């Protein structure tokens, strides 16, 4: 039924653009012949396109509003972020403020738009649902670009390359030299739920014990204290934690298990907003601003 509704909505919009007829009706009406055209609720068309669609009775024109226009009109952009993934996003408990590579990038984004940035906390298990529920306009914070996420949303171009690698104790650096060394029955792997770390572990670990830890920030300490033996995460994060705690060691960072890129997550279907974000990212690269963030938060 949902798929059929989207088809009807898209068809109605096409007719409206060609003929100038788009009649709103009760929310239960999907497609109904009328003398003056096709009767489809505007809300259904808006949802199908992922953009705000309105009908102006005075001009008798269909108006499609980009999220970009809506952001500029309201004066702020809502940025979703988890706050648990250093160095990209971290909710500092002392200041109760978000900080990190992508938090700084989002603030630069707000400056270029000329609007306030309002951060909205989400989680890895609820990231996509929160986006689709329109709790924020864009999501940032070390989000991996992949085709699964692209099925439901839109991912920007990549801005940093990385790969999965193990964070282990320094004393175990000769013990864990490969994925096969890690995938042993006596090995405990700590993983946070809902993200690409868990997805990689579930797909590649068959024998080791997988311990799910809700708060991603707790896992490095658990490795250091011997509560788990390994945390498989992005090599960037692994190197950061090894730098902060001399009990830890970031292994295989130059030979990661995967190669991926980070990107920003948006609603699909809004080419105007997407194109603006892409141009902004091009400018960030051209002017060395991503390089500056790399030096500040990663090097």
pLDDT tens for each residue of 217-269 = 999 999 999 999 999 999 999 999 999 999 999 999 999 999 999 999 999 98
pLDDT band at 195 (very low <50, low <70, confident <90, very high): confident
Q: What are phi and psi of 152, to 5 degrees?
A: -110, -20
The residue among 230 and 44 whose pLDDT is bigger is 230
* Average pLDDT in the chain: 87
Give the span between the Cα atoms of 40 and 66, in whole angstroms: 20
Which superfamily does 70-161+260-297 belong to? Periplasmic binding protein-like II (3.40.190.10)
Give the span between the Cα atoms of 15 and 45, in whole angstroms: 12
Q: What is the pLDDT of residue 165?
A: 96
Give the span between the Cα atoms of 164 and 162, in whole angstroms: 7
Could you count the other beta carbons within 10 Å of the beta carbon of residue 4?
Answer: 10
H/E/C letters for each residue in 121-176?
A: ECCCCCHHHHHHCCCCCEEEEEEECCHHHHCCCEECCCCEEECEEEEEEHHHCCCC
Question: Which tokens in the block code for residue 93?
Answer: 């408990």
Give the span between the Cα atoms of 184 and 186, in whole angstroms: 6
Does residue 35 carry a pLDDT above 60?
no
Q: Write down the H helix ranges in the chain.
A: 2-19, 42-49, 67-74, 101-113, 127-132, 147-150, 179-182, 196-204, 219-224, 235-244, 271-286, 289-297
- Nearest of 166, 292, 293, 290 to residue 235 by alpha carbon: 166
Does residue 190 carry a pLDDT above 50?
yes
pLDDT band at 132 (very low <50, low <70, confident <90, very high): very high
The ranges assigned to domains in the chain are: 2-65, 70-161+260-297, 164-250
In whole angstroms, what separates CA 178 from the centre of its chain?
A: 29
Q: Which of 47-56, 68-77, 80-89, 263-272 has the lowest mean pLDDT?
A: 47-56
Give the span between the Cα atoms of 9 and 12, in whole angstroms: 5
Does residue 49 carry a pLDDT above 60?
no
Mean pLDDT of the 277-288 span: 98
Q: What is the pLDDT of residue 41?
A: 60
Query: Does 3.90.1150.10 match the CATH number of domain 164-250?
Result: no
pLDDT tens for each residue of 157-189 = 999 999 999 999 999 999 999 999 999 999 999
Could you count the other beta carbons within 10 Å of the beta carbon of residue 278?
Answer: 14
Q: Do the Cβ atoms of 51 and 66 come closer than 8 Å?
A: yes
Identify the bridge partners of residue 262 per DSSP, sorted by sequence position: 144, 160
Could you count the other beta carbons within 10 Å of the beta carbon of residue 94?
Answer: 5
Q: Which residues contact 4 (CB under 8 A, 6 or more apart)?
A: 30
| Measured CA angle at 89 (ends 67, 285), to 5 deg | 65
Identify the bridge partners of residue 188 per DSSP, sorted by sequence position: 209
Q: Do domains 70-161+260-297 and 164-250 have the same CATH topology?
A: yes
Identify the bridge partners of residue 245 per DSSP, sorted by sequence position: none
């Amino acid at each position: 039924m949902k798929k059929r509704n989207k088809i009807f909505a898209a068809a109605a919009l096409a007719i409206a653009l060609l003929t100038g007829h788009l009649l709103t009706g009760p929310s239960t009406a999907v497609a109904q012949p009328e003398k003056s055209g096709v009767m489809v609720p505007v809300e259904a068309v808006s949802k199908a396109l992922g953009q705000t669609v309105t009908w102006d009775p005075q001009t008798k024109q269909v108006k499609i509003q980009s999220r970009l226009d809506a952001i500029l009109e309201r004066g702020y952009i809502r940025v979703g972020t988890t706050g648990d993934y250093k160095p990209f996003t971290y909710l500092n408990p002392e200041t109760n403020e978000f900080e990190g590579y992508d938090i700084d990038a989002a603030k630069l984004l707000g400056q270029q738009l000329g609007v306030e940035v309002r951060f909205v906390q989400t989680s890895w298990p609820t990231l996509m649902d929160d986006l689709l529920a329109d709790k924020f306009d864009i999501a940032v914070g070390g989000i991996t670009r992949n085709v699964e996420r692209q099925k439901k949303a839109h991912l920007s171009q990549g801005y940093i390359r990385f790969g999965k690698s193990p964070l282990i104790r320094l004393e175990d650096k000769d013990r864990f030299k490969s994925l096969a060394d890690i995938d042993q029955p006596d090995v405990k792997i700590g993983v946070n739920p809902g993200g690409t770390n868990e997805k990689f572990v579930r797909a590649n670990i068959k024998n080791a014990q997988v311990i799910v830890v809700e708060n991603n920030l707790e896992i490095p300490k658990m490795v250091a204290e011997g509560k788990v033996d390994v945390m498989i995460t992005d090599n960037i994060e692994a190197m950061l934690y090894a730098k902060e705690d001399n009990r830890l060691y970031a292994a295989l960072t130059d030979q990661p298990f995967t190669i991926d890129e980070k990107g920003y997550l948006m609603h699909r279907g809004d080419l105007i907003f997407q194109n603006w974000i892409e141009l902004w990212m091009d400018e960030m690269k051209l002017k060395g601003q991503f390089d500056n963030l790399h030096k500040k938060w990663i090097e």
